[in-house]
Structure formats: C-alpha cells, structure tokens
Amino acid sequence: MADLLILKQAEEFRKEYFHRNRQAEENRQKETQAAIRIQSWFRACKVRAYLSHLQKKAIIIQKTWRGFAARARVRQMVKAAYFTVKMNFYNEMAVRIQQRWKGFYVRKYVHNFYARKTYLEQILIKNELVRKELDEIGEAQKRENEHLEAVKQQKNKIHQAHQLHYLISTNQLPGVFNSPYRQTPHEMELLLRQVKYQVPASLAHKDTGYPRGIRDSVGVSFSGSLESQGTISTRTWDLRTRLPPIASRNTRQKTKRL
C-alpha cells in the first residue's frame, strides 16, 4: 500500500511537473513576445528620436552651409559690381584725359584755333556779302519781271483798245466805257482816246483816194509804245473820213449787246 501510494504520488508529481513546465513554457513565450514588443517599441522610439536628431542636425548644417554659400556669392557679386564700377570710372577718366590731350595736341600742332576762327569769320562775312548780292539780284529780277509784266499788260490793253476802237465816245454817241455815273472816265476810255485806229490788212490797200506810198507814209498804224502816243496829226484825222463809219449796223448791234 505504501508503494502504491508512493507510485501514485510520483505519478501525480510527474503530471504536476509537466503541467507546470508547460505553463511555464507558455508564460515564457508570452513574456518573450511581450519583451520583444517592448524592445521593438523602445528601439523604434530610440531610432525615431535619433533620426529626428539627425534631421535637425542636418537642417542646421544645411542652413549654415547655405547661409555661408549665399554670403560668399553675395560677396562675389559685390566685388564684381565694385570692380565694374571702378573700371567704368577709370575708363571715363581715361577718356577725359585722352580728350584733353588730343584737343591740346590738335589745337597746338595740327590746327591753329585762331587761324580757323579768323577763317570762319571771313566765311561769315563773305556769306553775308553774297547773300546781299543775291538779294539785290533777286530784287532787280523781281523789278524787271514786274516791269515786263506791266509792259505786257499795257501792250495787251493797247491791243484790246485797237480791237475795241469802235467803242470810243463821240459827240453824238457816248461810248460804253464813258459812263455818266463815273466822276472820271474809265481807263479804257482814256486809252481809246490815245491810240490810233489801225486799218485791217484786208482794207489797207483798197482805198483808191491815195497811192500806196502816200498812205503808208501817213502812219495810220500804231507802233505800240506809250511814248509815241502824241496828238493825232490833221492829215491822219482827215483820213478817218474815208474809213467805214463808227456807228455802222454791226457796231450798233454790238453796242446794244454790251
């Protein structure tokens, strides 16, 4: 009995041992998993903190480097701008020095300033003289043209007076240009009184009362100049009686039309 009891206790002990070992193993695995989770979480936190620290330090390094590079670039740009300003200033000063020297050299050795000034003054005086001469020539030509135009107009008026000689006033019939409402006679009326009647070419040699030589020597034609307009000779006045009458039929019709 004692042996059976011992065996039974040993069997129960063995089962209890295996049961506790199994529970211990299960608990150990759970604890291991929990420890692994804790370790992984801690390591992750540690790595994230380290990476955040590295990122912050990298940002600081980048910021410092970029500031240094920007300041260096700005210093280089300032140096280049200052160098450009200096070179421009030096070039401008060099140009001024060259201008002064070239002007001095040219005025002293190449061109005489006072001689050139005298030459220009003489040119101005000559230009004024030439301009005055040209003005005088222009005025003379203008006066000559005006004189020629006046002579031409006077000749045209004389020719018109020859053409309208039949409109001259008479004692019996006043002329067209001799208006009673005018204080003085018209210019054409005065011109008609001065000019001589000019015989047409078709009627110049038809008059049988005088020979051709005598009729030509009487001077019934008008020369055309105002200086030769004098008093009508009695011989020429006598010849007018043989000319066609002024108050003919055609003349009356023309007078009525006017």
Radius of gyration of the chain (CA): 70
* Domain edges within the chain: 164-257
Query: Considering the chain, what percentage of its residues have pLDDT values greater than 90?
Result: 38
pLDDT of res. 125: 93
With contact defined as beta carbons under 8 Å apart, do 207 and 242 qualify? yes
Mean pLDDT value across the chain:
76
pLDDT of res. 1: 57
pLDDT of res. 213: 40
Separation between Cα atoms, residue 16 and residue 8, nearest integer Å: 12
Model confidence, pTM: 0.32
Q: What angle in degrees, to the nearest 10, is found between the helix axes of 187-194 and 113-163?
A: 70
pLDDT of res. 200: 61
The most confident of 20-29, 100-109, 225-234, by mean pLDDT: 100-109
The 10s digit of each residue's pLDDT in 32-73 is: 888 899 999 999 999 999 999 999 999 999 999 999 999 999
pLDDT of res. 101: 93
**The dihedral sign for the CA sequence 50, 53, 54, 55:** positive
For residue 147, pLDDT over 80 is answered with: yes
Find all residues with CB under 8 Å of 246, minimum gap 6, and list them. Answer: 166, 168, 170
pLDDT of res. 52: 94
Q: Which region among 66-75, 117-126, 174-183, 217-226 has the lowest average model confidence (pLDDT)? A: 217-226
With contact defined as beta carbons under 8 Å apart, do 163 and 178 qualify? no
